[in-house]
Amino acid sequence: MAAAENKTTLDQLRRIRGIDIDTSERLALFRRKIVTVEAGDTIIFEGQEKRRGYFLCSGWASSVRHLIDGSDQILDVRIPGDFIGISDMRLKHAPHATEAITRVELAPISFRALLSMSAGAGQLAEAILFSINCDMAIISEHLVGVARRNPQVRTAHFLLELSERLTRVGIDDPDCFHCPLSQYLMADVLGLTAVHLNRTLRQLRERGFVSFKSATVDIRDRAGMIEFAGFDPSYLHQAQSRSAISGLVGPDGRSNGNGYFRAN
Amino acid sequence: MAAAENKTTLDQLRRIRGIDIDTSERLALFRRKIVTVEAGDTIIFEGQEKRRGYFLCSGWASSVRHLIDGSDQILDVRIPGDFIGISDMRLKHAPHATEAITRVELAPISFRALLSMSAGAGQLAEAILFSINCDMAIISEHLVGVARRNPQVRTAHFLLELSERLTRVGIDDPDCFHCPLSQYLMADVLGLTAVHLNRTLRQLRERGFVSFKSATVDIRDRAGMIEFAGFDPSYLHQAQSRSAISGLVGPDGRSNGNGYFRAN
DNA sequence: CGTTAATTTGAATTCTCTCAAACTTCGTGG
DNA sequence: CCACGAAGTTTGAGAGAATTCAAATTAACG
């Protein structure tokens, strides 16, 4: 029943993205001091202009939009090993806030160093581009969930996604892990009211799928849950191997095999 | 009441992204023939491995997830001037399909050429990175809409977004434009049933905000609609000017002014 | 041990969907 | 030019689902 907290250091970046980052690159990007932000404080404000990117070393954060009517929508939960603020670095104003859920440790990233690297050559730039792609896939999946999945399925899907993402950065037990979200926050992620999420969690518990008590997610029947939620984790993995680049369709413009193209 | 169709050529790329792309770069990326895909056909299949990116010259397309239960969720509508398939190019499998809503003309992009360009130096790579950032912001906004906005507000917001996006690629009249979406498709985008969207459109018409008849969106009271929908188009604009890069926080790791950071 | 925050439950209201059917539009072929 | 069929739009009625409001219970923390 115990759920260990997990802490990711910069040195683990290599493992996190499944890509070997050579040390010099890493040093160019991460030579600054680690900064700490307390739980509940804001890392990047919505609309903020000058800002930088971070690598989240430890703790949980959230990407959140504040609406005019006072309600919030959490777009994504950020866990150790995630980048923060790079998937919107070319927008003048931050399109959403990033707030610390727990106390977090952040390694600032130099945009300048990042941009001066060749997108094709740098393994780190590679990892970062991949990371942006993943963030996009995660948010897309949330959109699908909120729009098309009922609360029970949606909640189960989210908990499985969390387990999967945490596993990638190394938790002890994928079936029993620490999750510092209050039911209010989780409801916010899922686009539900806290009251209704509470009822939904009870239903998932009664079905024997999963329990969520005292900040601990306890997956009791993973197989059943995956089946029930229609969970397919492929959107979280799937690094495009570098060699695969050569496998892309060449510059001749010929068909990629799906048979639908027609040259003008 | 007339709504003109709009057609974007490659030469307009300069204007579309608000960035001057020098000709040699453009040629390196777009030297292939334009391909045409018929309405209803698939441009990129969900899960497809080998694939390439495109610049959408004319016509409308949709990014769509197909769920196991047979239902679909359109993640985003793609209009002329948008890139297709580059915001997930580093994922092994396409996380969603891209399907032609109308007949479309596509300019294939060479990933190799794209990746061999320096992310920092190339203006086109710049435009593409910005484009990815925009796509992310658009999908985030959809997520917020589906999760937090009621159907009337959500629909009004979506129509205003369309107007704004089309304006950027040059339509004649932002208040009266061609929109080739059926109510089924629009309902799919908005996470509603077609029946309910139809009622919602009637309500918006009765309120005097907007009408949608025979593939034409007619905005009658833009100001009122913007107020009603809480629409803020800033997430669609906001190119980070190149000079602003130098304005980012330097490599010294000092505060960015929000006062929340604390060095370790 | 007291105070505050978070979770849990109930009941009523509101909203959205489903199902069913009628109507409209538009392209095709006779 | 009209008949026909298919696809899309519109409306109604009833069932089901989620929200709101309110209150009780439990957990967390100084």
* Alpha carbons A100 and A61: distance in angstroms, whole number: 4
Closest CA to B235 of B160, B134, B154: B134
For residue B67, the model assigns a pLDDT of 87
pLDDT-based confidence at B216, cuts 50/70/90?
A: very high
Give nearest nucleotide to A184 (CA–C1'). C6
pLDDT at B75: 96
Q: Does residue B67 sit at the A interface (CB-CB below 8 Å)? A: yes
Q: Say yes or no: B24 contacts chain A, CB-CB below 8 A.
A: no
The verdict on B170 touching A (C-beta cutoff 8 Å) is no
Check: CB of residue B34 under 8 Å from CB of residue B42: no
Question: How many residue pairs from chains A and B have C-beta atoms closer than 8 A?
Answer: 243
Please check whether strand C approaches the CB of B214 to within 7 Å. yes
Distance of C1' in D15 from CA in B196, Å: 16
Comparing every residue's Cα with the C1' atom of nucleotide C17, the nearest one is B193
H or E, element range at B167: helix B151-168
Do A133 and B88 touch, CB atoms closer than 8 A? yes
Contact A133 B88 (CB under 8 A): yes
For residue B26, is pLDDT > 50?
A: yes
Reported pTM = 0.86
Q: Which of A148, A252, A257 sits opposite B67 (nearest CB)?
A: A148
The alpha carbon of residue A63 is apart from the nearest alpha carbon of chain B, in Å, by 10
Q: Is A148 on the interface with B (CB under 8 A)?
A: yes
Interface test with B, best of A49, A140, A154, A235 (most B CBs within 10 A): A140
Average pLDDT of adjacent 10-residue blocks, chain A of 264 residues: 47 51 60 85 94 90 90 93 88 93 89 60 68 91 95 97 89 90 96 96 96 94 95 77 34 29 27
C-alpha span between B101 and B41 (Å, rounded): 8
Amino acid at B213: K
For every residue of chain A, DSSP letters joined together read ------B--GGGHHHHTTSPPPHHHHHHHS-SPPEEE-TT-EEE-TT--S--EEEEEES-EEEEEEPTTS-EEEEEEE-TT-EES-TTTTBSS-SSEEEESS-EEEEEE-HHHHHHSBTTT-HHHHHHHHHHHHHHHHHHHHHHHHHHS-HHHHHHHHHHHHHHHHHHT--S-TTEEE----HHHHHHHHTS-HHHHHHHHHHHHHTTSEEEETTEEEES-HHHHHHHHT--GGGG--B--GGGGGGS--TT----SSS--EE-
Sheet containing strand B61-66, edge to edge, reads: B42-44, B97-100, B61-66, B72-78
Q: Looking at residues B196-225, what average pLDDT do you find?
A: 95
Covered bases, chain C (protein CB within 7 Å): 6-11, 15-20, 25-26
**Residue matched to tokens 């919107």:** A88
Nucleic strand C within 7 A of Cβ A143: no
Distance from residue B105 (CA) to nucleotide C11 (C1'), in Å? 57
pLDDT of B96 reads 95
What domains, with CATH codes, occur in chain A?
Answer: 10-242 (2.60.120.10)
Kindly determine whether residue A139 and residue B140, on different chains, have CB atoms separated by under 8 Å. Answer: yes
Instruction: Check residue A97 and give its pLDDT.
Output: 96
pLDDT value at residue B109: 82
Lowest mean pLDDT among A199-208, B5-14, B27-36, B190-199: B5-14
Q: Is B188 exposed, middle or buried (0-12, 13-18, 19+ CB in 10 A)?
A: buried
Measured between CA atoms, how close is B259 to chain A, in angstroms?
A: 10
> What DSSP line would sit under B192-258, residue for residue?
S-HHHHHHHHHHHHHTTSEEEETTEEEES-HHHHHHHHT--GGGG--B--HHHHHTS--TT----SS
pLDDT of residue A123: 64
Q: Is B11 on the interface with A (CB under 8 A)?
A: no
Q: What is the Cα–Cα distance from A216 to A83, expressed in whole angstroms?
A: 24
Asked if B39 has any chain A CB less than 8 Å from its own CB, the reply is no
pLDDT of residue A257: 28
Which of helix, strand or coil describes residue B63? Answer: strand
**How many angstroms separate the CA of A159 from the C1' of C8?**
21
Looking at beta carbons, which residues of chain B come within 8 Å of A150?
none
For a pLDDT cut of 90, what percent of chain B falls above it? Answer: 50
Predicted confidence band at B183 (pLDDT cuts at 50, 70, 90)?
Answer: very high
Please give the residue that has the higher pLDDT: either A120 or B197. Answer: B197
CB contact under 8 A, B52 and A130: no
Contact A185, A101 (CB under 8 A): yes
Spacing of A47 CA from C12 C1' in Å: 40
Give the model's confidence band at B68: pLDDT under 50 very low, under 70 low, under 90 confident, else very high.
confident
The reported pLDDT for the residue numbered A13 is 53
A42 vs B15 pLDDT, higher one: A42
Residue in chain A closest to B149 (alpha carbons) equals A67
Say if A135 is an interface residue toward chain B (CB within 8 Å): yes
Residue with tokens 């990407």: A63
Residue showing tokens 């009337």: B152
Q: Is the pLDDT of residue B56 over 70?
A: yes
Buried b (16+ CB within 10 A) or exposed e, B41-57: bbbbbbebbebbbbbbb
Protein CA at A184 to nucleotide C1' at C6, angstroms: 9
Asked if residue B92 lies in contact with residue A240, where contact means CB atoms within 8 angstroms, the answer is yes
Q: What is the mean pLDDT of chain B?
A: 79
d(CA B234, CA A65): 14
Compare CB distances from B118 to A52, A118, A140 and report the shortest one's residue: A118
Q: Say yes or no for a CB contact (<8 Å) between B256 and A50.
A: yes
B47 DSSP 8-state letter = T
Q: Cβ within 7 Å of strand C: which of B 179-198?
A: 191-193, 195-196
A77 shares contact with chain B (CB less than 8 Å): no
pLDDT of residue A141: 95
pLDDT number for residue B214: 86
From residue B89, give the alpha-carbon distance in Å to each of A161, A178, A188, B18, B39: 22, 33, 30, 23, 24
Confidence of residue B246 (pLDDT cuts 50, 70, 90): very low
* Contact status of B75 with chain A (Cβ, < 8 Å): yes
| A104 CA → C2 C1’, Å | 31
Mean pLDDT of B215-221: 95
**Sheet containing strand A176-178, strands side by side:** A176-178, A216-219, A210-213
Straight-line distance from CA B88 to C1' C25, in Å?
39
Angle at which helices A194-206 and A151-168 cross, to 10°: 80
Strand D–CB B195 distance below 7 A:
yes
